[in-house]
Amino acid sequence: MDQLNLDELKMLTQERKWPCVSIYIPTSRRGTEVIQASIRLKNQLRDIDRQLKEKDVNPLLINEILTPAQDVVDDEFFWNHQEDSLAIFLAKGESHMYRLAINIDEQSNISNRFFIKPLIPALSQINAFYIMFLDRKNLKLFRANPFGYEEVDLKNVVTNMDDALQLDESEQREFRGAEGGAHRASLYVGPGYGTDDAKKEKDIRRFFQRADKGIFNTVKGENLPMVLSGVEYLLPIFKSASSYPNIAEEGVAGGTWELGMNEIHKHALEIMQPYFEKKGKDALSKYYQYSVGSQASNEVWEILQAAFTNRVDSLFFNTNEHVWGTVDPESFEVTMAGRPEEGEDLVELAVVQTLLHGGNVYPLPFEKMPDGKPLAAVFRY
């Protein structure tokens, strides 16, 4: 199973061969729907096999392309370790599968390129955030988006409370010099530790303050929102001890032994949803503010040229509309086309180029698109 990121997106968009098969199916983390997902894939593959034969594709090539997906149809372990959707991309010599933590409608596509538009909304930087899991024995930080999460390496952070407080004590002895030699007993030796709630909270706060410095250095430059998770009483202590400026008001109470990281991620997404929506509204207001000048546009050709030259700050696109055409790779001149066979989807191309150049993308339904156009953008300059 591949990890979806911008490098993977770039690889998928560069693939150009016939046939490229794209499959999206809803999946489930548990229950009878787990079985339904494998049935959906089996039916999709049967239908794709039929379509490819109707298009006179060599049966041996069809078998080669579809085999990686056929191999997982009856794989019980595979289906018991899914999230909310599954994306599969198949071509000669290529097989890529992604577990997705968002709902995507069942669909498939056969073309000379992979159909990646359903993936795009969750790859935008605006949908990235941190999950900080609080545990006195093992702090963990995850970088997340709607598709999933991956652990951030905290190699320069003391993530265990015992280690952190003993290190604090050691540093204090060193500072005090010779007088510290009389205090060599371990911080945790002796009866009664942990029975004094005030001392316990003070120690936890010291631990979090020490860890916070390393965490802040690890994520500096990325002021992404952070959702706290862990045993409930730890959340306000960390929040008051931390210097991180963008911690969400609401957290996910419960340990990984109770919820599991998949459930924590799902609850964190629910907390982040209003934040995502506000970012979109603010960006749209900025578009209308700049649309009276030259720093915004809803012209497809102008937006594409800006996307290829790293000038798009925010891009709004209609999730259900296609605009067919081609872009010259050197001059970036846009030529419109009337049919898919005569070009590629310029909406998708603009979105991909914006993402690859660090811009933000906002999928919108038709009724919310500025001026009813398929694309609209705010430029960096």
pLDDT of residue 184: 35
Q: Would you say 142 and 226 are in contact if contact means Cβ atoms under 8 Å apart?
A: no
* CB of 373 closer than 8 Å to CB of 302: no
Order of strands, sheet of 129-134, starting from the edge strand that comes earlier in the sequence: 148-152, 140-145, 129-134, 226-230, 252-253
pLDDT value at 128 more than 60: yes
Is the model's pLDDT at 297 over the cut of 60? yes
Q: Which amino acid is at 365?
A: P
3-state class of 85 per DSSP? strand
pLDDT exceeds cutoff 50 at 233: yes
Q: What are phi and psi of 123, to 5 degrees?
A: -90, -10
Mean residue pLDDT across the chain: 85
Q: Are 355 and 6 in contact (CB under 8 A)?
A: yes
Token digits of residue 179: 């007088």
CA distance 34 to 27: 6
The DSSP symbol for 309 reads T
Identify any residues that bridge with 22 across adjacent strands, giving them in sequence order. 89, 109
pLDDT in tens, 352-381: 999 989 899 998 888 999 989 999 999 999
**Joined tokens for residue 84:** 């909310």
Supply the pLDDT for residue 122.
63
Q: Pull the structure tokens for residue 23.
A: 């499959």
Please check whether residue 354 is in contact with residue 312, taking contact to mean a CB–CB distance below 8 angstroms.
Answer: yes
The string over 213-249, giving b where at least 16 C-beta atoms fall within 10 Å of a residue's C-beta and e elsewhere, is ebbeeebeeeebbbbbbbeeebbebbbebbebeebbe
> What domains are defined for the chain?
6-115 (3.30.960.10), 126-278 (3.30.420.60), 291-379 (3.30.1330.30)
Residue written as token pair 């419109």:
336
Most confident of 54-63, 122-131, 233-242, 335-344: 54-63
pTM attached to this predicted model: 0.70
Task: Say what the alpha-carbon torsion angle 200, 167, 215, 130 is, to the nearest 10 degrees.
Answer: -40
Q: What is the Cα Rg of the chain in Å? A: 26
Strands 148-152 vs 140-145: parallel, antiparallel or unpaired: antiparallel
User: How many helices (H) and strands (E) in the chain?
Assistant: 11, 16
Question: Does the pLDDT value for residue 175 go beyond 70?
Answer: no
Distance CA 276, CA 360 (A): 12
Distance CA 194, CA 204 (A): 11
Is 318 in contact with 365 (CB distance < 8 Å)?
Answer: yes
Q: What is the DSSP letter of 179?
A: G
pLDDT attached to residue 196: 67
pLDDT at 125: 66
pLDDT over 70 at 4, yes or no: yes
Distance of alpha carbon 308 from alpha carbon 349, whole angstroms: 9
**Alpha helix (H) ranges present in 252-299?**
256-259, 261-290
